[in-house]
Amino acid sequence: MLRSFLRTALLVILSLSILSQPFAQSGSMLGFNSDSARSQNALEAKFDSFLNAENLREWMKRMSAQPHHLGSKYGKENAKFMEDKFKSWGYKTEIAEFEVLFPTPKTRIVEMTAPEKFTLKLNEPALKEDATSGQQKDQLPTYNAYSIDGDVKGPLVYVNYGTPADYEELERRGIDVKGKIVISRYGGSWRGIKPKVAAEHGAIGCLIYSDPKNDGFYQGDTYPKGPWRSENGVQRGSVMDMPMHPGDPLTKGVGATKNAKRIDRKDAETLTKIPVLPISYADALPLLRNLDGAVVPDAWRGALPVTYHFGGGTPTVRMKLEFNWEMKTIYNVIAKMEGRERPDQWIIRGNHHDAWVNGASDPISGMVAELEEARAIGELAKTGWKPKRTIVYCAWDAEEEGLIGSTEWVEANADELRKKAAVYINTDSNGRGFLGIGGSHTLEKFINEVGRDVSDPQTNLSVWERARAQQIVNGSPLDRNEATSRKDLRIGALGSGSDYTPFLQHLGIASMNIGFGGEDGGGSYHSIYDSFDHYTRFNDPGFKYGIALSKVCGHAVLRLANADTLPFEFTNFTDTVGQYINEVTRLTDTMRDDTKRINQLISSGMWRSVQNPADGLREPKMKDEVPQINFDPLKNALTRLKDSSSFYQRVSAGKQPNAAAQKALDEILYKTERVLTRTEGLPRRDWFRHQIYAPGFYTGYGVKTLPGVREAIEQRDWREANEQIVIVSKVLENFAAEIDKAAKLY
Amino acid sequence: MLRSFLRTALLVILSLSILSQPFAQSGSMLGFNSDSARSQNALEAKFDSFLNAENLREWMKRMSAQPHHLGSKYGKENAKFMEDKFKSWGYKTEIAEFEVLFPTPKTRIVEMTAPEKFTLKLNEPALKEDATSGQQKDQLPTYNAYSIDGDVKGPLVYVNYGTPADYEELERRGIDVKGKIVISRYGGSWRGIKPKVAAEHGAIGCLIYSDPKNDGFYQGDTYPKGPWRSENGVQRGSVMDMPMHPGDPLTKGVGATKNAKRIDRKDAETLTKIPVLPISYADALPLLRNLDGAVVPDAWRGALPVTYHFGGGTPTVRMKLEFNWEMKTIYNVIAKMEGRERPDQWIIRGNHHDAWVNGASDPISGMVAELEEARAIGELAKTGWKPKRTIVYCAWDAEEEGLIGSTEWVEANADELRKKAAVYINTDSNGRGFLGIGGSHTLEKFINEVGRDVSDPQTNLSVWERARAQQIVNGSPLDRNEATSRKDLRIGALGSGSDYTPFLQHLGIASMNIGFGGEDGGGSYHSIYDSFDHYTRFNDPGFKYGIALSKVCGHAVLRLANADTLPFEFTNFTDTVGQYINEVTRLTDTMRDDTKRINQLISSGMWRSVQNPADGLREPKMKDEVPQINFDPLKNALTRLKDSSSFYQRVSAGKQPNAAAQKALDEILYKTERVLTRTEGLPRRDWFRHQIYAPGFYTGYGVKTLPGVREAIEQRDWREANEQIVIVSKVLENFAAEIDKAAKLY
């Protein structure tokens, strides 16, 4: 499901001349003493020697040979295939099954009834250049899962990306979507936000299309000539209200086992409020051509050969959608290798295996890298080696519909995971290009070290050096500056969009999401053209970056599993939290200045005086002035955090505590992430418990850091902002107290 | 010919509350004492009362009723029509004729010969909604004047806007245009730059098309539904190398009178080096669709429904162009009203009357505003009033082909103009919206005062207040800041593109260019659809902004003609020159930093390491490091200038010198602009003599301020930069000395 390549922000003090040297293993290894680091390096070299790109190719061909979505026969076969593999490699393997709600289309009719008749095709044609594209019988039709049923008719309004800001623009134009159907382009926010915001504004239906500007011929040659989405390609996808909670809509917070307590479907808060359907740009073109009203502003215009208008009068569109609301069994594959010393400390590694259709890229490209990694670790085990901690390999089902497989498994095993889960490492679609990492910043230094020791397949650099070079060459001046003043690349914060969410944001398990990308653009996402043929022509033909992914994640798993002390580190986390605190402070100041300025422009009549009378724009509404917000509690907490993290760094540098204390120390370290959660969760969405990272309520996948504080500010709820500042500050203080406890064990 | 609305930068210290007041006449009037200011206000009110929008409508309808380009029968009739009008209003009127080289098409063939056959239409069809669009017999075909003859064939390369920076991008891609035909879109530079730079790089032909992204359906509904360029619209236009010199290509520097000394056509430096032709986007589409090679970067992509490629292999295109190289007579109308007190001080006012086809907007919308202004001044004269100084109204011919009418007249009358011309005020196409002013900054304070006293037709503000409000509401943060800290709106600097160029840049006559625009977008420019029908539907239907233009320019003429002392002012000029000096200093510093940084990225291998191997990009060449440049002479000159201009401001404030000194004072004041010129001209283009403002050698219309210094820096000619700094500093010192002379007369 994961869409966008995770960008890292990268910064280092090393001079440019490093590029003239071959990449070198870093001297120290976080969590290891020099002896154990040496044998760990040898172990990783051995691990690398087992990796074989041909396996990735063969497994991708096999697993993407048929459509393998949630509930499909081939999805179950893939699970069984992997179960057998894991077993053969020496893992204790099981298939964890759940029963979940899964709607599939019964009726899909969209037609323009005026000013001319047009019935949308709603169909992706087979291509002779793509061997699996003709498996129509087993393909899911093009649709958005968890749209409600509906039969609606009304005038169409173009809403750009359908974000709250887009509706502010519509309001200024005097355009109301009440009782109307909206058409939004993909992009600008996660797709589920579009029908959610449309419904909040009174729309009765929502079409989502892929505009060629974002995802089609504007970007490059279309499939099969090039990798980009052709006029008939459609992006399927879930539109459940995941920012409320992911997973099965009927079993929030508990595992969807056969006998789990379920709510009634009509009470499920994550189904959409209006019918929604995705369409191709060939289907969208006649509709857009018939929109009336004013011309949209520049930022709203796509690449279709029409003048984009707001609409609101014509055309009239009818949408009729009916779904089979069925319960389906899903199959997570869970494979364990018991730790020899600290078996109750789990290093968990996962990728989903279900797809929308054939899913060669999403998710099989990541899944086969994980399989090869697991196989190589199995090979190591056959030589007699055993990890100090337990390694758990997972292959999730039903991710595409709303992270269902991982969420249900996490909810069903919450108590055990709270105790034992040390780190979760996720991958999803993998491509060619630059290492991208998002995750808990307590693992930032660790994963930087891992990246420094893996070579890039296309250059003579490490994957870390190439990511850093990218930031220096193509980054903003700010990025470039960071790159000359900070030792580690800054990793991104995680919002949502793949299976780390239940681990990180529901349970507070330190997590990372890792992948390569940036040089493999294309538009096969969630279409029948995400195939073996497409992937091996345009993405990572030689599976070299698949192997690089196996290395980065495999080394990370091996280090985490073997370390004397778990390699958590707190000064980088503190540095980044300090940035977040600056951001929310500046955001408030900017909003205060802007509000004052714009209110003055409106009340003085100046705003009105410069409007083109021909445009008929309404004046924006004046907004309440922004009061002073007291950020001192956060600043004080940050000071405390700085002290504690520096102190821990000093006492732990180059040392290990005595053997007796190590297990206890580990437990304090990996449970620091738990302290960043609160059982009460975030305001209005208690399933999301993490106080530092959350998917945005109105962005979807897009992360909001310090979400309680930031979203209160963005929503101009100043009372809540002040409350949340106190809450988050307390969380940070508690976190500092845990670091202090850890420091005492040295 | 003038294309883009002149943007003003606006800044004032008045509080926002000014907008709640009706606009008020400013207390003081530069160059007048309080008594004379009072009677001047009364005179202007009387002038306003004579203005009648119906005249503008009637004259536009008449003058745009037939195509009236250089050499056309109707163009001559229009000249005669105006001559009669001016005479009837009491002006001493003559028609000044010149004989100039004017090529018109004999053969125009463009065809794609591979991979498929396609012959371009090269034709704008008549529309039933546009009454004059069917006058094919009298219309000039679509072509670029002063393209050479040629018959060439070769592969096509897409070069974006065809600027030097675009060719750097091509070079990095390993794409050579040598022996090939380039296709460039309009925009990004003046059109004449495109074949010039293409030829410098070895191209053998050049097509220029209007991309709908810049000028077509992407911007808004196309004609006749809306105002924008339709798929068959073509932008005609001159491609003579005007940055070398405008005017008749055979008589550089001298008036093209019947017996003038002419060079041979083959020696004319302003003809193109390769054949050039403009085409519509309907004609461009099949060519662009067949371009091979890599996909162009985002900034190069237009709005046609194709993936834009560089080309270089296919398609193959043949262009055959032959022209009738004929001598034609042109007709400038010159109408004088003698000054009663200082007849040898001339206030000159002009607009061109020739068009590419019917030219309702370009130039008739400006021409009719000038005519109505002249008529109203004639009415004033009939009441017994006479101007103190001589007023000269001009209607230029042959502007479209290269400012030919104005240039030849200025060259023919150079000696007299050097002595007598005090100020030249130009207009061209006029639209609806915001007052835009470019010009000599010694007139900035004066024209700000004028603008404060003319009411905007759409609001209850003055045109000045509305322009200022626009800057405050929609300007950049920097613009907004200026708007709260500077008393006057900063006027733009003049490059080229209309008839002020020979006055300002060849002779050093203080000039201004004035017009309204910003709310009347459209794409009729230089097509057969620039018609009365188009203008009165989409531009200024009620001619209210035509009348506003008559008022702004009429008041300016009346004040300049009547002032006790000519209203030149030097502190605003000094402020702006100070900005220019800062700009060239910062430009050099930025180039130095960038050169260092990029050279390091290249030499370290870092640049190469982040390139996508699939793109096959070449490394940029390393550039010579930027040495330290000594800007001290300019800074010292600026200090001198500040002292002199402040001193003059103090001694002249609220005073007039004794009557005997006034004429001498005037002459010093208006000849300060002459001091900003040098007979040697600019490096490599001696016709352009102004040292502060010039059209860019590689931008065309776009201005380069401190051109000698700035272009040397841009071309990395550090020796020349240092030389030019000394030259320009001396010019500024001389200018300061003239101000000191003026101050002595108080």
Q: What is the pLDDT of residues B591-624, one digit of tens each?
A: 999 999 999 999 999 999 999 988 878 888 999 9
B49 burial class (0-12, 13-18, 19+ CB within 10 angstroms)?
exposed
Average pLDDT over residues B400-414: 98
Class of domain B571-744: mainly alpha
Chain A residue closest in CA terms to B212: A305
- Cβ of A307 within 8 Å of Cβ of B472? The answer is no
The interface pTM score, or ipTM, of the predicted complex is: 0.94
Task: Measure CB to CB from residue A606 to each of B212, B218, B469 and give the nearest one.
Answer: B469
Q: Indicate if the alpha-carbon torsion angle B472, B474, B475, B477 is positive or negative.
A: positive
Q: Which residue of A has its CA nearest to B15?
A: A604
How close B133 gets to chain A, by Cα (Å)? 24
Structure tokens at B646: 């402040």
Q: Please count the other Cβ atoms lying within 10 Å of the Cβ belonging to residue B476.
A: 10
Residues of A in contact with B433 (CB under 8 A): 612
Residues of A in contact with B459 (CB under 8 A): 609
Q: For A269-291, what is each residue's pLDDT tens digit?
A: 999 999 999 999 999 999 999 99
Nearest to B295 among A221, A303, A459 (CB): A221
Chain B positions touching A212 (Cβ under 8 A) are 305
CA distance, residue A254 to nearest chain B CA (Å): 46
- In a mutational test of the A interface, the residue from B222, B229, B307 whose CB has the highest number of chain A CBs within 10 Å is B307
Largest separation between any pair of C-alpha atoms in chain B: 81
Q: Are A140 and A74 in contact (CB under 8 A)?
A: no
Tally the C-alpha atoms within 13 A of residue A399's C-alpha that lie toward its C-beta.
35
Q: CA-CA distance, A499 to A370, in Å (whole number)?
A: 14
State whether A605 and B20 contact (CB < 8 Å). Answer: yes
| Closest in B17, B217, B306 to A604, CB measured | B17
- Which residues of A663-727 form beta strands (DSSP E)? 693-695, 703-705
B-chain CB neighbours of A465 within 8 Å are 609
CA distances from A139 to A124, A129, A716 (A): 10, 18, 45
Distance from CA of A558 to the nearest CA of B (A): 29
DSSP-derived secondary structure letter, B20: G
Quote the pLDDT of residue A658.
85
Look up tokens 């002006």; give the residue: B91
- Given the structure tokens 């004041």, which residue do they identify? B669
Whole-prediction pTM? 0.95
Name the minimum distance, in Å, from the CA of A13 to any CA of chain B: 15
* CA nearest neighbour of A122 among A140, A148, A141: A141
pLDDT at B137 over 50: yes
pLDDT at A238: 98
Contact yes or no for B720/B584 (Cβ under 8 A):
no
* Residue A319: φ, ψ to 5°: -125, 130
Query: Can you give the pLDDT at residue A11?
Result: 29
Q: Do B217 and A519 touch (CB under 8 A)?
A: no
Mean pLDDT, residues B116-125 taken together: 98
Per-domain residue ranges for chain B? 16-100+328-562, 102-325, 571-744
Q: Which residue of A has its CA nearest to B21?
A: A604
Mean pLDDT of chain B: 95
The residues of chain A scoring below 50 in pLDDT are 4-25
Q: Which pLDDT value is given to residue B686?
A: 98
Distance from CA of B454 to the nearest CA of A (A): 16
Which residues of chain B does A600 touch, with a Cβ-Cβ cutoff of 8 Å?
A: 16
> Which residues, 6 or more positions from B205, have their beta carbon under 8 angstroms from its beta carbon?
B150, B152, B154, B181, B182, B274, B275, B276, B317, B319
CA–CA dist B504, A466 (Å, integer): 54
Identify the H or E element spanning B278: strand B276-279
Chain A residues close to B228, C-beta within 8 Å: 307
Instruction: Flag whether pLDDT at B5 surpasses 50.
Output: no
Interchain CB distance below 8 Å, B606 and A295: no
Alpha-helical (H) ranges within A106-163 are none
Model confidence pLDDT, tens digit, residues A415-455: 999 999 999 999 999 999 999 999 999 999 999 999 999 99
Q: Is B102-325 a CATH 3.50.30.30 domain?
A: yes
Strands (E), A267-380: 276-279, 311-337, 342-352
Domain range A103-325, CATH architecture: 3-Layer(bba) Sandwich (3.50)
Q: Taking CB atoms and an 8 Å cut-off, how many pairs form between chains A and B?
A: 102
**Residue B377 CB partners (closer than 8 Å, separation 6+):** B47, B89, B337, B387, B391, B554, B557, B558
Peptide bond into B363 cis (omega under 30): yes
Option in A433, A459, A609 nearest B469 (CB): A609
By the 8 A CB rule, do B366 and B351 touch? yes
- Angle (nearest 5°) at CA B490 between B485 and B491: 170
What pLDDT, on the 0 to 100 scale, is given for residue B658? 85
What is the Cα gyration radius of chain B?
26
Backbone CA torsion sign across A77, A80, A86, A89:
negative
**CA distance readout (Å), B524 to A132, B10, B216, B302, B481:** 50, 29, 10, 19, 36
Task: Give the model's pLDDT for residue B25.
Answer: 46
- CA–CA distance, A338 with A344 (Å, rounded to integer): 9
Q: Which of B306, B469, B607 sits opposite A473 (nearest CB)?
A: B607
Residue B655 three-state SS: coil
Tell me which residues of chain B have a C-beta less than 8 Å from any C-beta of chain A: 16-17, 19-20, 212, 217-222, 226, 228, 295, 301, 303-307, 433-434, 458-459, 461, 465-466, 469-470, 472-474, 519, 600-601, 604-607, 609-610, 612-614
Task: Choose the closest CB to A461 out of B222, B609, B614.
Answer: B609
Residue B497 has pLDDT above 50, yes or no: yes
**Given an 8 Å threshold on Cβ–Cβ distance, is A473 in contact with B212?**
no
- DSSP characters over A417-480: HHHHEEEEEE--S--SEEEEEEE-GGGHHHHHHHHHTSB-SSSSSBHHHHHHHHHHHHS-HHHH
Residues 6+ apart with CB under 8 A from B211: B185, B186, B187, B281, B284, B302, B303, B304
Say whether A571-744 and A16-100+328-562 share the same fold: no
Give the angle subtended at the CA of A663 by the CAs of A658 and A667, to the nearest 5°.
Answer: 130
**Which is the CATH superfamily of the domain at B16-100+328-562?**
Zn peptidases (3.40.630.10)
- For residue A27, what pLDDT is reported? 63
pLDDT of residue B27: 63
Contact between A591 and A626 under an 8 Å Cβ cutoff? The reply is yes
Closest by CA to B45, choosing from B474, B530, B453, B464, is B453
**Subunit contact A609:B465, Cβ cutoff 8 A:** yes
Write the residue in B19, B20, B606 that is nearest to A16 by C-beta: B606
Q: Which residues contact B437 (CB under 8 A, 6 or more apart)?
A: B6, B8, B447, B451, B489, B491, B492, B512, B513, B514
- Residues of chain B in contact with residue A610, where contact means CB-CB under 8 angstroms, are 434, 466, 469-470, 473-474
Residue whose pair of structure tokens reads 């060239």 in the numeric block: B584
How confident is the model at residue B215, as a pLDDT?
96
- Mutation to test the B interface, candidates A7, A218, A456, most B Cβ within 10 Å: A218
Mutation for A interface: B473, B519, B537, most A CBs within 10 A = B473
| DSSP helix, strand, coil percent of chain B (3-state; round to 5) | 40, 20, 40
Nearest CB neighbour to A609, from listed B461, B607, B609: B461
Asked if the model's pLDDT at residue B668 lies above 80, the reply is yes
Q: B435 contacts in A (CB within 8 Å)? A: none
Which residues of chain A lie closer than 8 angstroms to B461, CB-CB? 609
